[in-house]
Chains A and B, each alone.
Chain A
Amino acid sequence: MMSSLRAAAVTATCVALGLGALSNPRAVEAGTALNQLCGAAGYGAGCIRAFKPSPMPRVSVPRGSMPRAPRAAAPGGGGMFGGMAGAIVGNLLFDMLTDAIESSVEGAAGAEGAAEVAINPERISAFQQAIQEQQRLQEARESTFLAQLLDRSANQLIGGSQDLGILEAVRAEAGRPFDGNVATGPDAAELSVLDVWCSPDLSGTAVAGSGPVPVGNQTLGQGPNTMEPVQCMGRLCAFPPGNVPAVTVRTIPAPAPSAAPLTPVSLPAGKGLVAEVRESGDRMFWAGLGRVAERTGDPQTQVDLLIYGWTRFGEAALPGMQREIAREGRGIYRRVVDTVMAETFDMLSDAFSGRWQEALEQSDTIGDRIRESLAPEFKLARLALSEDPAAAGREAGEMFSEQAADTAREVAKQGLLKRVGGPEWVQEGVSHSADVVDNWLKSVFPRSSP
């Protein structure tokens, strides 16, 4: 058995060091290839067994060492191979078995190992299948939990942030350690809940389409394939040349810790503690992101980050001037809405009064422009966040006018199709137009639409 363990260890070493594209343990040829590379590197033929075992000394475990807790069977894993240790054992066994197979196939220096392992092909096959199954389960389990980790990342706890008041203290909180370690005053008790965890079942529902905040458009795997074989000459190998990364990660500037006095955070009464914990996650995340947005020197990054926060947390998530501008922008928007709604019905009235041909011609053009305008709410937000409320107001006015005209076009088209007049379809058209405008308003300002 020891020789097999030695061989397994050496196999792992060679593989880890890139010596064997080779030692995919599922392939009998792998050992041969590994031997070839090892041999080419100067260790001679059959060099797998020329290596000595990794000489980790066998140490006695002193008192106070980690207790060997009974290992529960891993979910879905079962049997003797549970959890990571099971995977490790599985890997080692796999290597041992593979090595035993290789020994029998190669017929070189394998007598000792074969005699010690003493397993027939059927048992090897059964073992291999069991180990492969264990590895598959392990990978599936990791994948599941990894997805859980990512899919419920900080920026997805939107469900707990419906009350914008929770974010009022974002800026003041920015310098506070993110688990409330140094919380003082009357909020200490509330903040201490951050020292416990909440059940994944209580973590809220992930919002579709959300995920960790992307910091680049490039996708790993779509870039250039920079992986090239390690070049070996004699016993020494070298990394292949090449400096083109598969992916570039543009970091966001890390804000320095604030030296400002810490401000206790008032959490709204009546919320469950778990909800507070969840929302604290939002605050923690946004506190960092908001500070980054404040400090970054890149206007585009700043606007993008602020829009991100604004669309998810509302204007209360915005810092300083941007928050004021957003408030002003919303005021402008409301005034514009009043005007546009009135004008919309005037236009509809004109259309229904027989001047629909002009309205239709105009609305076709307007409709095309609206379709070309992607995410008009972001355009408004971008302007609002650019500290130009007047421009934001103009933009809002144009958008609402266009939307109103588009509504008119739709209604006029309905009228054209019906080619009749009458109170029923007029009423229907007005109702439809009101729905269109209202839905659009809700999509732009989901928490503040009239």
Chain B
Amino acid sequence: MRRGTGAIALVALLGFPSLVLAGAGVPEVEVWAQARVTRILSPEMDRTPRVALQPQFEVLPGDRIVGLSAAGDLYDLRARKPLPAKAPARLSAFTADRGLLITIRDRQLGWYEDGEVVDRVELPQAGLQIVAGAKRRLFLYGQRGAGSVIYLLHEGRAGLMVEVPEGRISSLAAIGERLFFAVGNTIYTVASRQPPSVLFIAAGQPQVRSLAADPVSGFLYLSCGRAVYALRAGVAVSILRGLEGILRYSGNALFVLDAERASLIGLQGLEKLATAGGAPAAADAPAAGEFKE
């Protein structure tokens, strides 16, 4: 892969007009040309010391974006500073439900309030991740033995929802009454009153790292290796290459965090994937998006 000089360069790769952002020491990033791309966090634009991030983040209403530092503290990725904290939070996971930060540390589920984490519910096991779903559902998932489990917490009731005897769930996304989760390079789906099913196999890839869903356009986004794909109608196409992405979809944008490189970008306009008019139109389409410095 080529490296540039720091300027934005427009290239065509495989007949696919892409934008390349390359800078000193910055890996090349290519994006679907019609997407509007915004850099929110990147090493070269951040003059403050880079904070080591964990591969998770949440987008709150108002485009506030919160990540988790390697030490387990909540970190405002836009302001590039930790959230107020009266004591080290030492979180292992968190999610956001309509602006509320729901936290996990050790085996305790709680929330962030006034600079403090209030532990509230003891979880059945440590090491769980958490995803907020529709109608105030909370899904907690993690490894158990050689397999994985998904717990559901809803309206004061909790229980073991899904057991996967073998394999580690690497990511989980919820749309309405349906869950998508990845084990290895395979995406499964479960929904009420339906048998569990395989939705997609990312052939040639070792693992689906992250999933995010746009419930309005119907796209399921997945990241494998150093690429992000949009999946619908059984076809997955790459929309972003060069970032090892943790994905979140919020509002009308897909956010991609490469925690290792402390890089976060937002992609808008992806709904046009559904109406790109097929290959010829897209191939001829001008590059409409660009990275913003």
Taking the nearest CB of chain A, how far is it from the CB of B185, in angstroms? 5
Contact A247 B79 (CB under 8 A): no
Contacts of A225 in B (CB 8 A): 159
Q: Find residues 221-240 in chain A having any chain B CB closer than 8 Å to their own CB.
A: 221-222, 225-230, 235-240
Q: A141-B216, A226-B160 are in contact. List 10 more A-B contacts (CB 8 A).
A: A69-B252, A145-B217, A157-B234, A175-B204, A189-B15, A195-B15, A195-B238, A220-B193, A245-B160, A246-B160
Contact A277 B278 (CB under 8 A): yes
Contact A247 B268 (CB under 8 A): no
Q: Which residue of A lies closest to B269 (CB)?
A: A69
* Known contacts A54-B113, A181-B241, A202-B278, A139 near B176 by CB under 8 Å: yes
Contact B111 A13 (CB under 8 A): yes
- Does B3 lie at the interface of the complex (its beta carbon under 8 Å from any beta carbon of A)? no
7 chain-A/chain-B pairs, Cβ below 8 angstroms:
A13-B113, A16-B100, A143-B176, A214-B195, A219-B193, A227-B157, A252-B198
Contacts of A374 in B (CB 8 A): none
Contacts of A446 in B (CB 8 A): none
Contact A142 B121 (CB under 8 A): no
* Contact flags A56-75 to B (C-beta < 8 A → 1, else 0): 11011110111101010010
CA distance A211 to B160 in the complex (A): 26
Contact B233 A157 (CB under 8 A): yes
- Does B172 lie at the interface of the complex (its beta carbon under 8 Å from any beta carbon of A)? no
* Known contacts A66-B268, A145-B215, A195-B238, A83 near B156 by CB under 8 Å: no
Contact B194 A244 (CB under 8 A): no
* Known contacts A57-B84, A213-B197, A178 near B39 by CB under 8 Å: no
* Known contacts A88-B61, A153-B199, A242-B160, A196 near B237 by CB under 8 Å: yes
- Does A150 lie at the interface of the complex (its beta carbon under 8 Å from any beta carbon of B)? yes
* Known contacts A57-B84, A178-B202, A239-B123, A273 near B293 by CB under 8 Å: no
Contact B122 A237 (CB under 8 A): yes
CA distance A181 to B97 in the complex (A): 36
Contacts of B234 in A (CB 8 A): 152-157, 203, 278, 281-282, 285
CA distance A245 to B164 in the complex (A): 9
* Contact flags A113-152 to B (C-beta < 8 A → 1, else 0): 0000000000000000000000000010111011011101
* Known contacts A56-B64, A57-B83, A278-B235, A256 near B120 by CB under 8 Å: no
Contact A291 B102 (CB under 8 A): no
CA distance A12 to B98 in the complex (A): 8
CA distance A235 to B280 in the complex (A): 61
Contact B215 A199 (CB under 8 A): no
* Contact flags B247-270 to A (C-beta < 8 A → 1, else 0): 000111100000000000010100
* Known contacts A17-B111, A197-B282, A199-B278, A281 near B184 by CB under 8 Å: no
* Known contacts A85-B251, A254-B185, A257-B206, A213 near B198 by CB under 8 Å: yes
Contacts of A237 in B (CB 8 A): 120-122
Taking the nearest CB of chain A, how far is it from the CB of B282, in angstroms? 3
Q: How many A-B residue pairs have CB under 8 A?
A: 421
Q: Which residue of B lies closest to A55 (CB)?
A: B114
* Contact flags A341-383 to B (C-beta < 8 A → 1, else 0): 0000000000000000000000000000000000000000000
Contact B218 A247 (CB under 8 A): no
- Does B9 lie at the interface of the complex (its beta carbon under 8 Å from any beta carbon of A)? no
CA distance A65 to B40 in the complex (A): 6
Q: Find residues 145-184 in chain B having any chain A CB closer than 8 Å to their own CB.
A: 149, 151-167, 175-176, 178, 183-184
Q: How many residues of B contact A (CB 8 A)?
A: 123
Contact A54 B99 (CB under 8 A): yes
Q: Which residue of B lies closest to A15 (CB)?
A: B136
Contact B235 A18 (CB under 8 A): no
Contact B156 A21 (CB under 8 A): yes
- Does B90 lie at the interface of the complex (its beta carbon under 8 Å from any beta carbon of A)? no
- Does B10 lie at the interface of the complex (its beta carbon under 8 Å from any beta carbon of A)? no
> Of A218, A250, A256, which one neighbours B206 at CB under 8 angstroms?
A256
What are the nearest 6 A-B pairs in CB distance? A288-B201, A254-B184, A196-B282, A154-B234, A212-B197, A145-B218
Q: Which residue of A lies closest to B152 (CB)?
A: A227
- Does A107 lie at the interface of the complex (its beta carbon under 8 Å from any beta carbon of B)? no
* Known contacts A54-B112, A67-B36, A229-B157, A245 near B195 by CB under 8 Å: no
Taking the nearest CB of chain A, how far is it from the CB of B59, in angstroms? 9
Taking the nearest CB of chain B, how far is it from the CB of A238, in angstroms? 4
Interface of A is mostly: loop
Contact A277 B279 (CB under 8 A): yes
Contacts of A240 in B (CB 8 A): 157-159
Contacts of A37 in B (CB 8 A): 156
Contacts of B123 in A (CB 8 A): 239
Q: Which residue of A lies closest to B18 (CB)?
A: A195
Contact B237 A54 (CB under 8 A): no
Contacts of A405 in B (CB 8 A): none
- Does B126 lie at the interface of the complex (its beta carbon under 8 Å from any beta carbon of A)? no
CA distance A74 to B251 in the complex (A): 12
Contact A64 B40 (CB under 8 A): yes
Stretch at the interface among B19-27, B49-57, B224-232: B224-232
Taking the nearest CB of chain A, how far is it from the CB of B257, in angstroms? 14
Contacts of A276 in B (CB 8 A): 279
> Of A155, A221, A222, A291, which one neighbours B203 at CB under 8 angstroms?
A291
> Of B110, B185, B229, B253, which one neighbours A288 at CB under 8 angstroms?
B185
Q: Which residue of A lies closest to B115 (CB)?
A: A55
Taking the nearest CB of chain B, how far is it from the CB of A149, in angstroms? 4
CA distance A228 to B160 in the complex (A): 10
- Does A414 lie at the interface of the complex (its beta carbon under 8 Å from any beta carbon of B)? no
Contacts of A292 in B (CB 8 A): 201
Contacts of A288 in B (CB 8 A): 185-186, 200-203
CA distance A251 to B63 in the complex (A): 36
- Does A9 lie at the interface of the complex (its beta carbon under 8 Å from any beta carbon of B)? yes
CA distance A218 to B98 in the complex (A): 33
> Of B176, B203, B253, which one neighbours A174 at CB under 8 angstroms?
B203
Contacts of B99 in A (CB 8 A): 9, 12, 54, 56, 92
Contact A245 B161 (CB under 8 A): yes
- Does A183 lie at the interface of the complex (its beta carbon under 8 Å from any beta carbon of B)? yes
Contacts of B166 in A (CB 8 A): 250-251, 253
* Known contacts A12-B100, A67-B38, A195-B237, A178 near B156 by CB under 8 Å: no
Contact B192 A220 (CB under 8 A): yes
Contacts of B121 in A (CB 8 A): 17-18, 230, 236-239
Contact B159 A196 (CB under 8 A): no
Contacts of A228 in B (CB 8 A): 157-159
> Of B185, B200, B233, B238, which one neighbours A181 at CB under 8 angstroms?
B238
* Contact flags B31-75 to A (C-beta < 8 A → 1, else 0): 010001011100001000000000000001101101000000000
